Structure 1
Amino acid sequence: MTTNEALKLGIDSADMICLMYLQDLTDEEMMHRPAPGANHVKWQVGHLIASENMMIDGILPNSMPTLPVGFADMYSKQTAGLDDPKEFHTKEELLKVYREQRAATLAALAKLSPEQFDKPTSIDYAPTVGSMFSLQGAHWMMHSGQWAITRRQLGRPPLM
């Protein structure tokens, strides 16, 4: 297995789990906060999409499609406390942007040579290009732990 294939496997595994958690949630349910001060699923998904765009484009400039106008600002720390669904994209819109961004991430990953994975970045939490790609799956998985709680609070059974 190549480095590209191993990193893609990690991203794809996280993708499968996260999309399973989201598949049957409604737009209204995605606004549920699992605890006071916790972020709702809709904000988290937007944050993850904007973060992926920023992280991958930061290490491989011009490799990611442009986000819709205002998208990153809509899912910033300043908007995390908002509870008005009109302030956020619909689930359908979020997943469309997600698919575009993820396709670009995987296309960029596929083009990397083995030597490029060790290239340093200027980011403390992902010091190499390889670690930045690894983070794409890990970041989604970290947030999906909260989605599991949200799902249970909404009466959904465990998925696995």
Structure 2
Amino acid sequence: MSASPVSSTPILRTVLVWSGSVTAALAVVGAVVGYLVAGTDGLWSALAGVVIAALFLGITAASILIANRWFGDALYVPIFFGIVLGGWLLKFVVFLVALFVLRDQPWIETSVFFVALVVSVLASLAIDVIVLLRMRVPVVDVELPSDPDAGDRTDDSGAAS
């Protein structure tokens, strides 16, 4: 594994930090609103919707961050796509398990759950857009020399011959 940074790493880390903060805020707001709308069942439904959305949206960013650790390795591309595909398969399995576990639960208020899930996904998409618009990403992952004329010098005076 190489220590070379990939230009997407700071973006994904920022997305994960912001998403964590917004998820915590949505969990609190969703729990309060869910409780006011549908009592204790609404509270748990809102929390379940927010947590499921956060889990699904965090798996993709986390899998890319993990895969970026192999940047510079000869097998980087297959490792990267293997890890990201594994994350997608994990999300599919978690989705099926959540679907089968939650579908017949008496405490799920479907409208509260749905609204919490949709609001969480929209908040995550907004975070992605805001972070991508604010981040400055280099076009090429290279390190430039500090003095562009250093390669032309032939003596210590700094004048090119």
- TM-score, L = length of structure 2: 0.30
Structure index of larger Rg: 2
- TM-score, L = length of structure 1: 0.30
Higher RCO (CA-CA < 8 Å; seq separation 6+): 1
Q: Which protein is richer in helix relative to its size?
A: 2
Q: Which protein is richer in strand relative to its size?
A: 1
